[in-house]
Amino acid sequence: MVAQQRDETDEASALIEKWIERDPSHPQIGDARLKEYGVHVWAIIGYLQGARGDMEHVADDFDVPVDAVRAAQAYYDRYAAFIEDRMAANEA
């Protein structure tokens, strides 16, 4: 069980490292974005929630790889409070 959790953590870390970066204009944790695409994690997650977790649908609509959406989800899983705050600020 511990080895499985470690593998999942390692996989999440690898996805985040490959696909996620801090936005140089807004370096807060909640404003991270997809490398090469510039789409913010909060935008992906908000859309993913509306799409009922359908990662392929979100990837198609944003024209990004599914692994990039998985990376956004992994980042959200680590920093949910920051992402939720950013989404709330966007709605205000």
What residues does 5 pair with on adjacent strands? none
Q: Which two tokens stand for residue 26?
A: 């807004």
CA–CA distance, 73 with 69 (Å, rounded to integer)? 6
25-74 residue pLDDT tens = 988 999 999 999 999 999 999 999 999 999 999 999 999 999 999 999 99
Q: Which residue has the tokens 């993913």?
A: 48
What distance separates the 2 farthest-apart alpha carbons in the chain? 42
The predicted structure's pLDDT at residue 90? 80
4 or 48, which is more confident:
48
Q: Which residue has the tokens 């999942």?
A: 8
The predicted structure's pLDDT at residue 41? 97
Q: CA distances (Å), 24 to each of 33, 35, 44, 60, 69, in order?
A: 10, 11, 18, 26, 20
Strands 20-21 and 33-34: antiparallel
The predicted structure's pLDDT at residue 14? 94
